[in-house]
Structure 1
């Protein structure tokens, strides 16, 4: 079975280090790069470089460099013509040894916005035109789980979101409820839970929904529902139960629950873990992938699956990205 990513969503799972590969379509305003991984127990430093070219002597438009050296800090810089520029740094360390993290670089018109575990961390002004950046390089004392390029190659019907909705320092972002019914295509960053999104025109075959999130260390359960708004029917109910170590799938039609599916070859939903879920609607079933691996199929019990027009997510989960 083939994993087909959503338009404008280019994932790589379990990449090896050092990572040094082209950025799909090149860097552009509105693009976001998600890096999920685990900081090494013996971490001293790691780096993320936005490169102008792939070679060792290439210019570095943005060098992001956390250092555990007794004076824990994160260093930011750029390198042109073999010379480092003026160093910027923060004496604050958002990464913890042996702990999973999610690092996001959001490409803005004037700067790179760095977000760590959902919290805005730093803004680094462009010193080299972002259009010149061709490669991403990652290396150091960490284990990579995934690198996702989002928004770089949207399909013609999808409009890239130029100003992503991350909360500013000291504030939290709450999307206006009036925007929910028309949300279609453009991703939503860091949406609050409970989350409600509307699938304009209903669920269509070959449509893919992307959900990236984090299960808190004390999380017990959360649900993802593909719902018919007019009747309340649930065509697909996904219920990870961390306290049971289970992922329950079911449907609820005409007020009656069907038979549960529980069998899985692996469970990607662990306390304190990030996940990347892709739900693809086929003609006869939902095909669900987690972290790039096939997780389960769920045959359609609601034959008129096109009536599904709502996505609901609630419970013990933090969302970092949803694309409907």
Structure 2
């Protein structure tokens, strides 16, 4: 069965670095580059480049370069064979050796807004038209857990995906979403509740990204009906070293399913969950690997029209 992913959801998991990822159709306002990664203990520097070509020597519209000597981040462009004037930021260096990170580069009409670990970090004004960008490149001493170019609606129906004024939803500003097909919601508060337009139709994919904070014990992803039936309960329990799947129908919980090959949920580390609804079951993938299947116990999928996420979790992105 071919599942229908949200717009732009084509993540690459654990690529070797240096790494290049094409941006099909080129970058446009409303799109973003989403990266989860880890900095090795020996790292001195790494870079993320939004380039205008796939070959060495191509123009680079945006160069993002953390440097651990002096703990600063350098921003620049490369055009016509020469680097431009550097911009530097030293305060609030967000990367730690041996630590995990998440960064989002928003393509705004006036520039790139970079957010790291859920907080605004830097705004870089365009020097090269962003529509020329057709590749994302990662180089240096860094491990990439996942990378994806999100969006592609280009500010179409439902409005742009970029935050107003370059600020980040969840940082004192209202959360923005694209209600039309596949718009991501960044850094929504928990508990999170959203309506699923049209219900859980077959072949649909739901994406949840985030992390469990240190000391966190449990969180749940619930697919519910308007009447309160819990058709699919996905419950991470670190205190039990278990991930429980179940349904609560007509006021009663059913039989728990706990079988799993490994537990990919670790406090402080980012996760990427995709839940794909098939004709007979949900297929759950975590960090790009198949995790479990769960047979439908509430078969009228169109009546399952509410998504709920609760518990000890910090959400980075929800998309469906």
TM range (shorter): over 0.9
Distance (Å, rounded) in 2 between the aligned partners of 1:185 and 1:63: 28
Instruction: Give the 3 Å change call, closer, same or farther, for CA 183–159 of structure 1 in structure 2.
Output: closer
Deviation at 1:173, TM superposition (A): 3.1
Determine if contact 1:106/1:114 at 8 Å carries over to the other structure: yes
For residues 220 and 174 of structure 2, what CA distance do their matches in structure 1 show?
Answer: 21
Structure 1 residues 4 and 268 mapped into 2: Cα distance closer, same or farther (>3 Å)? Answer: farther
Residue 194 of structure 1 aligns with which residue?
191
Match of 1:222, SS state, is strand
User: What are the superposed Cα offsets for residues 98-153 of structure 1, whole Å, 9 maximum, x if unpaired?
Assistant: 01110110100000010001010000011001111111110111111110111026
Instruction: Give the alignment of 1:79-228 within 5 angstroms.
Output: 79-92=78-91, 93-152=93-152, 161-164=160-163, 167-168=167-168, 171-175=171-175, 185-228=182-225
Tell me the SS of whatever aligns to 1:288. strand
Name the SS of the counterpart of 1:10 in structure 2.
coil
How far 1:218 moved relative to its partner?
A: 1.6
Structure 2 length as normaliser, TM-score?
A: 0.92
Asked whether the 8 Å contact 2:236–2:244 carries over to 1, the reply is: yes
1:290 corresponds to which residue?
286
Listed as ranges, the gaps of 5+ residues in structure 2 are none
Whole-angstrom CA distance in 2 between matches of 1:323 and 1:160: 15
Task: Summarize the Cα distance change of 1:37–1:2 in structure 2 as closer, same or farther, 3 Å threshold.
Answer: farther
Whether contact under 8 Å (1:160, 1:186) holds in the other structure is no
Secondary structure class of the residue paired with 1:161: coil
Residue of structure 2 equivalent to 1:43: 43
Tell me the SS of whatever aligns to 2:263: coil
Shift of 1:229: 1.7
Q: Give the CA deviation at 1:163.
A: 2.9
Q: Distance in 2 between matches of 1:170 and 1:5?
A: 25
Deviation at 1:169, TM superposition (A): 10
Across the two proteins, how many residue pairs are aligned to each other? 317
Aligned to 1:73: 72
Q: Residues of 2 paired with 1:52 and 1:175: CA distance?
A: 31
The one-character-per-residue Cα deviations of 1:192-248 (angstroms, maximum 9, x if unpaired) are 100000012221111111111111122110011000122x11000010011222111
Residues 151 and 161, structure 1, Cα contact 8 Å, conserved in 2: no
Q: CA deviation at 1:25?
A: 2.4
| Secondary structure of 1:9 counterpart | coil
Match of 1:257 among 224, 244, 253: 253
Specify the SS of the correspondent of 1:297. strand
- TM-score under structure 1 normalisation? 0.91
User: Which of 258, 276, 280 is the matching residue for 2:272?
Assistant: 276
Q: 1:265 to 1:30 in 2, by over 3 A?
A: same
Q: 8 Å contact 1:159–1:185 — kept in the other structure? A: no
> Structure 1's 215 and 2: CA in aligned 2 closer, same or farther, altered over 3 A?
farther
Distance, in Å, in 2 between the alignment partners of 1:32 and 1:126 is 15
In the alignment, is residue 56 of structure 1 matched against residue 29 of structure 2? Answer: no
Q: Is the 2:7–2:181 Cα contact (8 Å) retained in structure 1?
A: no
Task: Output the CA distance in 2 between the equivalents of 1:302 and 1:285.
Answer: 10
Q: Report if the CA contact (8 A) 1:221-1:316 is conserved.
A: yes
Measured on the aligned residues, the alpha-carbon RMSD in Å equals: 2.4
